[in-house]
Chain A
């Protein structure tokens, strides 16, 4: 009865989806920012290979952020 009133299943799904989306997207975007910041520092420090690796990681993370946001919106529109 309580489960029916509280709609436990949907509520749990909401909580899990919020945690994954909220924390996940912020973490991935932070990696993108880390990549950008490290690229600038390493490049200035004369380490082009390491700078390129940091930039590549940052770029991948940025693309992943945009993809995650787009995926979220697509899921929303498909109900």
Chain B
């Protein structure tokens, strides 16, 4: 009975994380389309939500990696998964608060690894999987996106640079509807699967599913719905960072950045690499900027994002470990997860209340 209560809390927390993931990553998916004028914000966000939902059904390779290849499922308990999720959500909220597009994916994996280490030591971590399927692709993928976007924009300017700008800009704006849609699809495919993987891990840890089981349909559908709702709710603060503070983009650059991001994420998803979609998309944006003119990229802003990238895994791991410690103060039953989730909920509500107070209009009097 107690383990079932914990499992329900874990599933609820995982879906809440998925929602914050979509909320946090809306910027990554739609910022380029909005900043180049390819689509009005509401249309871009609505389309991105629908395609995130659809993307979640395309593949389960990444979910399998998260469930089987990062931590040893044999020593994992639902409480460990719960604490990891708390670490990830807390880090997502912190970076949302300061307006930095950090990685929800690394936050999730960092949180789960941190809580697993706190509970069962370093033996709980599958080093091969963590290094080979998470850390190395985490470094390689944004660089590939940067190179692909840089090469693409160079080619674009060679091919259409001498044409009248009007039709070219219009053409690439139409193209951005496709490239933006593909990027949203790719985002849903890779990111929703991480939540599916974590829920599957908890179901295996609870004995509800057998080892190496695939995510059940209800897990896929609920993860898809949560990320789509989160995307629709959007994170306007971060949209400004990705869309205009890194570089001021034209439509061709937006198309190149989105195309590069979508290509890298879809290819990686095919091979089961749980990427940071944030890192990849920002790599594409920087490549598209640098491909036109290196000084067009505001490297100071890019540097801040890079610092957030570096901090995410260890910070989420530390919060995940702390959340596990806090949960265990109340014993091994359901009391710990219940109390910690209530505390987390209170913090989330307080953060949103504070943020909305700051944005409240000042009365004329």
Contacts and interface: CB of A to CB of B under 8 A. Distances in A.
Interface string B244-256: 0000000000011
Interface stretch (B15-23, B133-141, B301-309, B350-358): B133-141
Interface string B109-132: 000000000000000000110011
Contacts of A36: 167, 171
Given A4-B128, A5-B132, A6-B136, A72 B266 contact: yes
Contacts of B140: 11, 14-15
Contacts of A13: 267, 271
Instruction: Say what secondary structure dominates the interface of chain A.
Output: helix
B50 interface: no
Given A26-B155, A37-B167, A75 B270 contact: yes
B266 A76 contact: yes
Given A7-B133, A25-B259, A33 B167 contact: yes
A44 B264 CA distance: 40
Interface string B15-46: 00000000000000000000000000000000
A31 B272 CA distance: 33
A9 to B, nearest CB: 9
B260 A11 contact: no
A18 B178 contact: no
A24 to B, nearest CB: 9
Interface in A14-66: 14-15, 17-19, 21-23, 25-27, 29-34, 36-38, 40-41, 65
Contact of A7 (B132, B168, B255, B270): B132
Contacts of B175: 29, 33
A67 interface: no
A77 B269 CA distance: 11
Given A23-B155, A26-B156, A41 B256 contact: no
B275 to A, nearest CB: 10
B255 A76 contact: no
Given A30-B160, A32-B171, A18 B264 contact: yes
Contacts of A79: 59, 61, 270
Nearest to B264: A18
Contacts of A10: 271-273
B144 interface: yes
A23 B148 contact: yes
A19 B185 CA distance: 19
Interface in B154-172: 155-156, 159-160, 163-164, 167-168, 171-172
26 contacts: A5-B136, A7-B133, A10-B272, A11-B137, A14-B140, A14-B268, A19-B147, A19-B151, A19-B263, A22-B149, A22-B260, A23-B152, A26-B156, A26-B255, A26-B256, A30-B160, A31-B159, A34-B163, A37-B160, A38-B163, A65-B178, A69-B178, A72-B263, A73-B185, A73-B266, A79-B270
Interface of B: 58-59, 61, 127-128, 131-133, 136-137, 140-141, 144-145, 147-149, 151-153, 155-156, 159-160, 163-164, 167-168, 171-172, 175, 178, 182, 185, 189, 255-256, 259-260, 262-264, 266-273
**Nearest 5 CB-CB pairs, A to B?**
A22-B263, A33-B171, A22-B148, A26-B152, A21-B263
Given A19-B151, A25-B259, 16 more contacts: A5-B131, A6-B131, A6-B132, A11-B140, A19-B147, A21-B263, A22-B151, A26-B255, A30-B155, A32-B171, A36-B167, A38-B163, A40-B167, A41-B163, A73-B58, A77-B58
